[in-house]
Amino acid sequence: MSTTHSSAMLAKHAGIEARIAAESRRPSPDTMLINELKKQKLKIKEALARL
């Protein structure tokens, strides 16, 4: 069960990272969105560290 959960969290982490990269490439990136995505990514990273 833990492996499935951590795999799902890693996939979500990668998806958020891709969204950050895509937003950063835009001509006028939404910095508030990028900051929110980074916070979400950090929360997932912290949760993975606790596993």
Q: How far apart are CA 8 and CA 44, in angstroms?
A: 10
Model confidence, pTM:
0.86
Average pLDDT score over residue span 1-27: 92
Average pLDDT score over residue span 38-46: 97
The beta strand positions in the chain, using DSSP E, are: none
pLDDT of 16 > 80? The answer is yes
